[in-house]
Structure 1
Amino acid sequence: MSLAIAGNNNNNNNYNNETDRFALLDFKKQIYDPYGALSSWNDAIHFCNWVGITCGHHHRQRVIGLYLRGKGLGGNISPSIGNLSFLHSLDIANNSFHGKIPHEIGNLIRLQFIVLPNNTLEGELPTSLANCTRLRQIDFSYNKLVGKIPGEIPASLGNISSIQIISLNWNTLHGNIPKSFGQLTNLYSLGLSINNLSGMVPFSLYNLSSLEIISLAINQLHGSFPRDIGLTLPNLKRLAIGENLFSGRIPNSFSNISKLEVLSITDNSFVGPVPNNLGNLQNLQWLFIGENQFGTGEADNDLDFVDYLVNCTNLKILDANTNGFKGPLPNIKANLSTQLSMLLLGQNQIFGTIPLGIENLSNLTMLALEENFLEGNIPFVIGKLLKLQRLFFGGNRLSGQIPSAIGNLTLLYELHLEENNLNGSIPSSIGNCHQLQFLTLLSAEIPSSIGDCNSLEHLYMGGEVPTKGIFGNASAIFVNGNDKLCGGVAELHLLACTDHGSMKREKSHAFRIVLAIIGVLSYRDLFQATGGFSSANFIGSGSFDSVYKGIIDQDETIVAVKVLNLQNPRVYKSFIADCEALRNIRHRNLVKILTSCSSIDSKRKDFKALVYEFMPNRSLDDWLHLPVEAHNHSRNLNLLQRLNIAIDVASDLNYLHYNCHAPIGHCDLKPSNVLLDIDMIAHVSDFGLARLLLEPDDNSSETQTSTIGIKGSIGYATPEYGMGGRATIHGDVFSYGILLLEIFTGKRPTDQMFTDDLNLHNFAKAALPAHVMQILDPTFLSREKQTEEIEEVVTNRMEGPSHRTDQLQDCITSIIEIAVQCSMESPRERMRMNDVVRRLHLIKGKFS
């Protein structure tokens, strides 16, 4: 039946009703519905009462709304949807629909809202949407659409004068923004962020005086602002073009955009100076100009623009990180809004002292001044910023003691004071900061080679480490290199606090191991330690090695000995380089390489091995997948154990990616490479494929120093590696996302259920948010159910669902969302590991 008949035969309601019913049933036929969300779509119920269906009042029993957001659905969008001729709203967001958006969708001439984000839709943007002249909102965000936004738009598209919102975010669209967008004279919101758009933004776009929102962030667009932009866009409220290739200067005419609330141009190539007349923008709330080149190198003080922001009384965020700004900090007391919640001036060339006027910014939640040239003491008035949650002072020249007033900051979540010249003891008052999840006091770094990560040579901090509050969690504090510290919890492996005259202080266990074996092991020693590399001591094997349990005679210390397979020439060539680089990596969640052995075996052949600390609880893979009878422990990891393991691994990757002299990629992250110590703390192992990555701005074709090819493991290796892509930290993020899904679903990415378009990522994504509990590891759910029942009995809460159940679902949903975002196919859409660590700690704190 043609659309004309279906849409105009209003005298025959039964006929029209049948058209809608048949269209919906045909739509259902092409849908994968694993959770039975559409079970009500049957002949026993009138279609107006089906789940997700809304019928109209004026045209009774005609479908005007189709709402199937987050139902865990997959499959294709049937072309028959074009027969719902009275449809006003279509919302199938947050599912796993794939294939193309059907051309027939352009038949829906009454359509006002089409919302399809967070699916896996492919193909090009249908030009037939030009027929939908009543459209107000188009949202195709977070899909896999390809091709160009039509450059030559049919004349009929010029009739879409009532479009009010177009959002095409989170896709892989290609091509330039068409010049004909300038014809959409009623357009007030244009969102094209997180795509693969390229070319210049047409100047006609800047002439759309109706525009209030422009969002073009995270593309490959280039060009510069027109000089009169402030005159042609008088109604603009939000401009977000971060992470592109824009250049040039901010025109002075910007000061005429009096309604501007958000200006986000971070991570481009804009140059300075920053116009002082930005202070005229009295409605400005967010100013993101970080990661550009505004530091001119000419002026004595590149920060003078801050003095003129005094009139921006609504300013809440100022992000000017990484610009090469030089000069002293501005007169904060006089010239920055007291409404400011985030002040980010890190990674510049700011010198002088931290002004006492900082205390006036009483609403600050985040203060970042890291990696500058600041000197003097940390001012005691910092303790008056009672709303502060994150404080970054690392990488400066600050001296003196840590003020005890920091203990007043009860909302503090992160405290970074590393790589300064601080001395004295750690104030016990910091233990009062009950929200504190990260405390970094690493001593100053003296890099000696590309492999060095915090070569902790300058030792300033001393005294006893407290044990109250955050100090009771060894995974959350970093005090490496401060060998004058003592005490603390046992997991820190610090010296005991004893009388200064005593020379018999016991060394930590790890330190004794290193002293016992470095420089004295040979093939014969390792042969004896492993019982002749006997099968009884065999732990496991990989592509390039075999691992054995060994016992060092001197003090019966248990170690793991990894014997490399030298038949592979790439292993032989990379052995020395990788060992030298990796021995300098120091993190509590890395399996420590205690020493290496390069010798001759009993057959006079080359022998090379690495000696690691031993992990008695074997690998995460064992706990997730081996049956209980295969080993002596139950594999029912509870929520906090799984979450702690996830945090441990994320913390390690964050360290490798961002806290080393050069970024390091693991390149083969999987459960069998995550080992668990006696306290169930996770340690990442097997750097046989690890790479030292060059800095991101290095343009050379050779981006790795190791010689081993990057393939990773099936199911965990990022898609771009399969297409010959170079190693980046984004590859580790993908592997981590898959690992995180496996930890909580108990399913390997190579499970036989994953065929065709269904994989572990899509399986989890389709379950969000309503069905997330249905995809969890059954052994995990069994243990959590037992815990919940015990709590209900103890607290007499047997009536109705427990509060813990709601907490559990919220917690799991947040974790799965992180995993899905990490394992996105496009590297540009994945999270950064530092954000992953922070979010997981927040989830843990909220659940606990």
Structure 2
Amino acid sequence: MIPKTLGQLKNLVFLTFGENKFVGTIPISIFNISTMTILEQVISMGGNHLTGPIPESISNASNLMEIQVQDNNLIGKVPSFSKIRGLNWFNIDKNNLGGEQSTDLDFLYSLTNSTKLENLLLLHLSTNDLSGNIPPKIMGLSSLSIYLDLSQNSLTGSLPKEVGNLRNLGELSLNENKLSQQIPSNIGSCTSIERLYVHDNFFEGHLPSTMSSMRGLQVLNVSNNQLSGQIPEYLASLNLTNLSLSYNNFEGALPIGGIFKSAISTSVAGNKKLCGGLLDFQLPKCDYEESKWRRISGTTKVLIFIVSTLVGVTCILSLLYFFWFRRNKKASTSSSSEDRFLHVSYHNLLKATGGFSSTNLLGVGNFGSVYRGLLDQTQLIVAIKILNLACHGASKSFVAECEVLRRIQHRNLVKVLTVCSGFDFNGNDFKALVYEFMANGSLDEWLHLVASQYTKRSKLSLLERVNISIDIACALDYLHHYCEMPIVHCDLKPSNILLDDERTGHLGDFGLARFLPEAMHKLLANQSSSVKVKGSFGYIAPEYGMGSAVSTQGDMYSFGVLILEMFTGKRPTDDMFENGLDLHYFAKATLTDQMEKAIDPVMLQEIEELNKTQRVTPEGKNKSWSNIQDCLASIIKIGVACSFESPRERMDIGDTLTRLQGIRKKLLNFIVIG
């Protein structure tokens, strides 16, 4: 049970009990916590086994932003929320609330009578026992942008014409109620709606012609109603991916374009007066088509046949020429590759991240923020980079990153799934990139654990660090030598290296990446060279600060610093580096006889424990330690050789990769055999 004594706490700023196994009722005292609503302003108790009503005292928490009590066994009347002004997330889904006839929706009236309820993004009331009419003012909440879900209740009456005010809404679910009369024509004003569910009601009449304006509509389900008339042709012109018209009273010819080309994506079963359409729908042939054909004279039929044949032959020849020309055109590879990407909208990303909730924030960079999200289209967990377009250079960074990412593909590069470039619900420019999600975060988080992380995750072993070094070297080798046009990353650092479930390294963030000058003439200048080289302090090659051109040797300098940081545990910006001393010279000075002082203490502890577990003589242990020292010295030498001040003195990535692979092979022999 939830302790009643929580109401006595004085400094509580965040309260969540979600996804547990709490039983009993919600204590009234919780909403008497005076400071609870100052910062986070969240009440989250979803996914438990709570019973009883929602306490009336919830209205005392007047500054609440989120109320989440979904997926419980709550009963009774929903209390008034007239005192809560800044609510943006209200979810009571999957309970047994309601059942008091005309008073069921009183809380909605109080909710909509709030003069400052202008931030409500989501209203989720489905799967309860609510009855009565839908308050028109609910449809006047223009702030609703994620979804409005009133499904699986016992609501009656008509759908208010005020539904047209929901111009920013992404999803509307009214299914499995007892709503009746016609679907109002004002619904055509909801141009942002992507999913509309009104099935299993008693709607009647025709589908409104104004729905032709709903250009964002992807899913429409009006099945199991009493709709009639012909199926509108405009449905074929919308961008629908799923359409259900089943079990109504539609009649006449079925359209044959757009969504109606697929009997898998379109359902029309149970409409006994429909005819025509593609053969896959197995509908009877329309009689009027046959009668028209019979009225045509024999001569006219012959002419129609000849003309149709000539047109058909011409089309076939044109198509053959088109495909032949396309196959021989180099640009076809890039255009066809774009089709592989998912198509996502601002609403998709808003919903995937819970309204860009701070709980899903993974990190903040120079040009934007990265969120964890769950895409509806794929049910994949992804990383979503939202560009801060108010930041100087963010738009150019987006263009540069898109230009690079569409040309590269390698197992050690973070994979981009799609991009989004459009407008948010306020009409502002919006740009985002969607990447595959890396469960183990960035390399920086592993090298420099904060206190709270020491108890939650293990530390990177010597062998894992060597493996990650090889992963990034492979990525650089690909970028520098095996791309269609050589690419310089320009911002190589631990925070831009992400680790997957197996702790394999993936290089990401190509916002500053550049194509080599000798390949520039193949690209539009404003797409490939518009981003000023900046990099990150401590990792950027010194020659860039003197105006030198971008080169692969600049990446090699950053890689050398990265290697030294990985095996010494020291950032290049550490306070100890001053008066001419930097990470390069510090590591170089320890190569003679002070190796242990340079190595990350975490690795030294691991090596000592490894020696203790080896069942060999003391001489063998000393030999093993000596061999590991040799490996570490070789790695430090690589880091030093890559980070020389002069670009001409730095190692090439190909030689670096070969040496690292040799060190790993040698190290594996010591660990397994030694």
TM-score range, shorter chain: 0.3 to 0.5
Mark the structure with the bigger radius of gyration: 2
Q: TM-score, normalised by structure 1?
A: 0.38
Bigger proportion of residues as helix: 2
